[in-house]
Amino acid sequence: MKPVPARSHNPPTMQVLSEAFRSGTLSPVAATKTCLDRIEGLGRSLNCFITVLGDSALKAAEESERRYRAGAPLGPLDGIPIAVKDLFYIAGVRCTAGSKILKDNIAGYDATTVRYLKEQGAILVGTTNMHEFAAGVTSDNPHFGPVRNPWDSERVAGGSSGGSSVAVATGMAAGAIGTDTAGSVRIPAALCGIIGFKPTYGRVSRIGVVPLAASLDTVGVLAQSAWDTAALLQAITGHDKSDITTVDEPVPNYLESLSTPFQGARIGVVRQYFHEDVDPRVEENFEGFASNLREIGCTTGEADLGPVREVYDKWLIIRRAEATAFHQRWLDSTPELYGADVRRLLEQGEDIRAVDYINAFNSRPAIIERFSQAMDRFDFLIAPTTSIPAPKIGQSATSIKGKEVSVYSALNRLTLPFNYVGFPVASIPSGFADGLPLGVQVIGKLFEEATVLRLIRAYEERFGPFSLPSLESRTETS
């Protein structure tokens, strides 16, 4: 596998912007205007925003600029343009969750994560398009239109946080936040060629976030680099007494942890389940990535997580039951307002028996322990993020080694087991298949986000910045 080529035409990372703001070579207002201009142009053709916050973003950028001139920025995110999945409440801004049902819903308060971002001086440039109610993996939205992949506008961007991923990949925002219930941060990150990080379940508050399945939902981040990812995680992570699912666990300084020298790591490769029904191009790319890890001092070995298929089945029960419970009022009163795919999935949840839900829920501690024991010999696990590269918009099935597989399964079956057990996972760009990005998941131990970030940083330092679509390809899609 060849090293990822250095970028020459890509938008500046959050780290570059932060340093430029401090040195005075670039202003937050200028950076925000650049993002808003891209949203107005590329954003329309790639369909990745639902609401653009132009006036409020520029006003916030002006306030940020004054702080820099006074030598008193609020932190590394001050002045950084950030996109927010249209699932998070922003006071005074509509939050549709990508649905017709909530098309006129105006948030009365800020989600906890949004409040944290504002307190750090981040500039919210808009809310991003997504799979309806986060209940899918393509971001092919029947109400707002499909989010288009910046590498090939006829293909999906992944979901459900598709708009957030495209915004980062194309420089419409320097970073973004999304949610991950079955891989909804990691899948679009892989298909668009950026980093998607799902922290440990309970690390980030979900107050003010429209739920899909409460015991699986995790707020995550999308970014271009390890530094950017660390800065975003630092801003939003921590115990929230208003959210009983958040854990009162000390949060390390993720940015400072990046300076700790990387001494290599023990990497576990799980063959069972994670390498079944996988496109040969994905498999070849994965093996190249594993080889690259050995070049930075890692050792690899076989890991055994036991029967992972049962984890998929238990996740499915919980996801269907919890999502349907939240949506029951609308399913009963206005079922015609749902897109066909989301309505079908929600109706399937009505058939889940209480005993099956309780058994699936109560099985989690034992399976978490089993996964943890399997990782005793390793620092990380690695697995492909998706079984296939980005499929065509509207495509419902694909062929893998002569076997027909649903697109839904091909995109989320490798990510969702780690939502069930709650481990921290990052999808990082690993290369390409016929010009389309692929990703590999790096799975850490519970609450060890910092060690995953160090591995990503070491990989970047050895193989160069991750590649994004060139300005020329962006022009073609517009």
Give catalytic residue positions.
85, 160, 184
Residues in Cβ contact with 314 at an 8 Å cutoff, skipping those fewer than 6 apart: 360, 363, 364, 367, 420
**In whole angstroms, what is the distance from residue 190 CA to residue 165 CA?**
9
List, edge to edge, every strand of the sheet that includes 299-302: 49-52, 123-128, 81-85, 175-180, 218-223, 195-198, 425-433, 436-443, 380-384, 266-269, 299-302
406: left (phi over 0), alpha (psi -120 to 50) or beta: beta
Tell me the sheet residues that pair with 438: 431
Of how many residues is the chain composed? 478
Tell me the sheet residues that pair with 209: 88
Task: Retrieve residue 405's tokens.
Answer: 């597989």
Tell me the sheet residues that pair with 397: 406
Going by C-alpha positions, the residue among 426, 140, 128 that lies closest to residue 289 is 426
Q: What is the CA angle 174-131-147, rounded to 5?
A: 55
**In whole angstroms, what is the distance from residue 295 CA to residue 223 CA?**
24
CB 154 within 8 A of CB 393: yes
Residue 224 has a CB neighbour count (10 Å cut-off) of 28
Across 59-77, b (16+ Cβ under 10 Å) vs e yields: ebbebbbebbeeeebbebb
Q: What is the CA angle 36-39-41, rounded to 5?
A: 115
Residue 207 has a CB neighbour count (10 Å cut-off) of 17
Residue type, 428: I
Residue 103 has a CB neighbour count (10 Å cut-off) of 14
Task: Retrieve residue 259's tokens.
Answer: 């300076």
Strands 145-146 and 195-198: what pairing? unpaired
3-state secondary structure of 452: helix
Residue with tokens 């990080």: 197
3-state secondary structure of 376: coil
Among the residues of 70-132, which ranges form H helices? 112-119
Residues in Cβ contact with 67 at an 8 Å cutoff, skipping those fewer than 6 apart: 73, 74, 78, 121
Strands 425-433 and 436-443: what pairing? antiparallel
